[in-house]
Amino acid sequence: MISIQQISKNLSSQFRLNYYYQNMILWRERNIKQDQFIIILSLLVGIFTALAAIILKNIIHLIKSFLVDNININGVNYLFLAFPAAGILLASLYVRLFVKDDISHGITKILYAISQRKARIKPHNMWSSIIASALTIGFGGSVGAEAPIVLTGSAIGSNLGRFFKMDQKVLMLMVGCGAAGAIGGIFNAPIAGVVFTLEVLMVDLTMSSIIPLLISSVTATAMSYFFMGSEAMFNFKTFEPFALSRIPYLLLLGIVCGFVSLYFTRGVNSMETFFGKMKSPYTKLAIGGVILSGLIFFLPSLYGEGYDTISVLLNDDPNKIMAGSLFYGYKNYEWVLFIYLGLTVVFKIVATSSTNGAGGTGGIFAPSLFVGCLTGYLVALLLHFMGINIPERNFAFAGMAGVMSAVMHAPLTGIFLIAELTGGYSLFMTLMITSTVAYLTIIIFEPHSLYAMRLAKKGELLTHHKDKVVLTLLKMDNLIETDLKQVHPDMNLGDLVKVISSSKRNIFPVVSRKGLYLGEVQLDEVRNIMFRQELYSRFTVRRLMISPPAIITVEESMDKVMNTFDKCKAWNLPVVDQEGKYLGYVSKSQIFNSYRQVLVHFSDD
């Protein structure tokens, strides 16, 4: 048993720690200005995020090397049937037994944290995604490590900011710093890290935000250089120079990438819906594991992130990409390669969704780059069959930029990331044309990225449209007014006059004994009879009440609420829950006041 002395000692230790912590916070507030401290925080976020990225990359590499290095690539490998399912099982058990929380859809979780949770991300996200994604990808799960590490970096930024008692505005910036550091650290791409954060996650671009983002991204990249080397992921010394004669083919490639991205987006959504209907995690694991293992068995290129496949395709004999498959070893392999790559593009979406649907953890960042590379190579190969000389390597990287730009709705990120991944800044014109056309193609059919569409359907998505951003940040719970005097339908006019005499408002909600909202009585409607005492017993509230112009439910987005106000031309509307129970009123003037406060707060440099 624990003695009273031990309990007293533990309490005393906790008290001392809390005392020192509070003194540290006070010392920081007195001696370091907030702008200066944000710079320090952004530096720390960059360091910790880079370390997380380095750890994740090394764990994935160790697991994959242990499993795959001794496999004979010249024959069909039946071990591919077992590895992916085993990895998903381990990752799923880890999440359910130890994490006990959903850690999938990392980028969507960040967007949700920014828009709905005041940039607060749970502490376990600083490490939980690293272990789960390493098990998933190392064993061959067909997903990427980027979304998990971006969630990890953003969680580091959020929790570091909360530890030092930063306000919501600074927390949002720290979340962005974590994301920028994650992209910079895992790709050695500092510019892409900043652009990704501004284009995909951040609300607005100001001088007070750009410097911390740059510091985090550059710091993380420098750390990655120190531990992992400074060479680009796909380091090529020469590229075919840009030629005006290829512009029509680049436009064609951009359109193809746009439609491939549309297939990617809708395919992943459909597969998520398919797995979402399954209630048992064991059913998901069984079906997803069988699908994934079978696909990797026939198309070994689907194993893992796919970056090794890209390097083999563009550096070595392209025939080697089919090693370990039933397609390997044909003498006239060009058409066989075309069919193999085409099937890989088609089924990569299925493999990625099956990995996550079965219980694995990973993102769509790497799969979109993989599909884009193969799409660009396929287009170049097809043009080659038609007698048109096209540099496959240039088109492969243009395809990577095009598909990623369209899937993420982030053309600048696609352009800068591929330029930094390859060291091929001479590719800028090629990348810009393809990414722009691909993006313009997909937005005709899908107005939101795969990351954002889940939140957009609920009206919870922050965008670069400042008016919608502010409305998204406003919460109905903080705007409901409850100081209106309630009346019951069976009350007579005399009772109503007594209520009116003690009220400061001119609207009186009519509520049943069970709390259901029935209507309202407006002071203007009863003003002409309220002083005629002979009518006090003749009129009841049920007879005097009217229906409001509209009724608001508490779950509605503020954007929809404002549209309702505009349509009905009202200044006050009742708010009810899903069962119709009265909660209060919301006024347009209160919304305007809150809107102004939020706008000033988040626009202040």
pLDDT digits (tens, 9 = 90+) for 89-106: 999 899 888 888 888 777
- Our separate counts of H helices and E strands in the chain read 24, 5
* Confidence band, pLDDT 50/70/90 cuts, at residue 316: low
Whether 193 shows a pLDDT value over 70: the answer reads yes
Spell out the alpha helix ranges (H) of 32-145. Answer: 34-68, 83-94, 106-116, 128-138
- Hey, what are 352's tokens? 């990625």
Asked if residue 429 has pLDDT above 60, the reply is: yes
Strand (E) or helix (H) holding 519: strand 517-522
pLDDT tens readout for residues 21-47: 788 888 888 888 888 899 999 999 999
- Confidence at residue 132, expressed as pLDDT on a 0 to 100 scale: 92
Average pLDDT, the chain: 83
Q: Which residue has the higher pLDDT, 455 or 109?
A: 109
- For 325-384, how does the pLDDT look when each residue is reduced to its tens digit (9 = 90+)? 777 666 666 788 888 899 999 999 999 999 988 888 888 889 999 999 999 999 999 999
Which is more confident, 395 or 539?
395
Report residue 470's pLDDT band, with 50, 70 and 90 as the boundaries: low
- Under DSSP, is residue 520 helix (H, G, I), strand (E, B) or coil? strand
pLDDT > 90? residue 324: no
As a whole number, mean pLDDT of residues 491-502 equals 85
Query: From the CA atom positions of the chain, what is the Rg in Å?
Result: 29
Cβ 200 vs Cβ 109: under 8 Å = no
Pairwise pLDDT comparison (604 vs 514), residue with the higher score = 514
Label the pairing between strands 572-576 and 552-553: parallel
131's tokens: 């272990």
Query: Which burial class, exposed, middle or buried, applies to 35 when counting CB atoms under 10 A from its CB (0-12, 13-18, 19+)?
Result: exposed
Confidence (pLDDT) at 240:
79
Higher-scoring residue by pLDDT: 10, 221 = 221
Pairing verdict, β 582-587 and 507-511: unpaired
| Residue that the structure tokens 């909600």 belong to | 509
Give the per-residue pLDDT at 524: 79
Question: What pTM value is reported for the model?
Answer: 0.76
End-to-end Cα spacing for the chain: 57
pLDDT digits (tens, 9 = 90+) for 217-268: 999 999 998 888 777 677 666 677 888 889 999 999 999 999 999 999 999 9
Per residue in 556-596, pLDDT tens? 777 778 888 888 888 888 898 888 899 888 888 777 776 66
- The pLDDT value recorded for residue 263 is 95
pLDDT of residue 278: 87
Strands (E), 344-492: none
pLDDT score for 433: 95
pLDDT attached to residue 3:
58
In the predicted model, is pLDDT for residue 134 greater than 80?
Answer: yes
Tally of CA atoms within 13 A in the half-sphere of 423 that contains its CB: 9
- Rounded to the nearest angstrom, the gap between the alpha carbon of residue 411 and the centroid of all alpha carbons in its chain is 17
CA angle 589, 594, 595 (to 5 degrees): 95
Cα separation values, 507 from 157, 224, 403, 525, 557, Å: 46, 63, 55, 10, 24
Angle between helices 146-163 and 106-116 (to 10 degrees): 30
CA angle 182, 446, 350 (to 5 degrees): 65
Phi, psi of 482 (to 5 degrees): -115, 15
Residue 547 reports pLDDT greater than 90: no
Query: In angstroms, rounded to a whole number, what is the distance separating the alpha carbons of residues 209 and 119?
Result: 15
Provide the token pair at 510: 């009519």
For 178-201, give the DSSP string.
Answer: HHHHHHHHHHT-HHHHHHHIIIII
Per-residue pLDDT, 458: 54
> Per residue in 458-497, is it b (16+ CB within 10 Å) or e — as a string?
ebbbbeeeeebbbbbbbebeebbeeebbebebebbbeebe
Residue 576: beta bridge partners?
553, 582
Query: Any residues with CB less than 8 A from the CB of 171 and at least 6 apart, and which?
Result: 118, 119, 120, 157, 158, 161, 162
> Which carries the bigger pLDDT value, residue 404 or residue 317?
404
Q: If 0-12 CB within 10 Å is exposed, 13-18 middle and 19+ buried, where does residue 121 land?
A: buried
Does residue 460 have a pLDDT over 80? no
Tell me the average pLDDT across 415-439. 88
Burial class, 27, CB count within 10 angstroms (exposed 0-12 / middle 13-18 / buried 19+): exposed
Q: pLDDT: is 265 or 526 the higher one?
A: 265
467 to 461, 462, 470, 559, 573: CA distances (angstroms): 12, 10, 5, 9, 21
Give one DSSP letter per residue of 575-597, joined into a string: EE-TT-BEEEEEEHHHHHHHHHH
**Distance between CA 353 and CA 296 in Å, rounded?**
13
- The residue ranking higher by pLDDT, 21 or 397, is 397
Percent of the chain's residues with pLDDT above 90: 28
Structure tokens at 335: 């058409």
- Phi, psi angle pair for 553, to nearest 5°: -95, 150
Max mean pLDDT range (4-18, 38-52, 61-75, 234-248) = 38-52
Q: Which of 39, 529, 133, 101 is nearest to 364 (CA)?
A: 133
* The most confident of 109-113, 169-173, 366-370, by mean pLDDT: 366-370
Residue-wise DSSP of 252-316: HHHHHHHHHHHHHHHHHHHHHHHHHT---HHHHHHHHHHHHHHHHHH-GGGSSSSHHHHHHHHHS
Query: pLDDT-based confidence at 4, cuts 50/70/90?
Result: low
Residue with structure tokens 């998520």?
272
Q: How far is CA 32 from CA 29, 50, 186, 251, 380, in A?
A: 6, 25, 32, 53, 57
Nearest to 223 by CA among 184, 197, 192, 193: 184
Distance CA 373, CA 422 (A): 12
pLDDT band at 396 (very low <50, low <70, confident <90, very high): very high
Residue 403 confidence (pLDDT) above 80 = yes
Instruction: Give Cα 559 distance to the centre of its chain.
Output: 21
- Residue 342's alpha-carbon distances to 286, 301, 346, 393, in angstroms, are 27, 12, 6, 17
pLDDT at position 310 is: 87
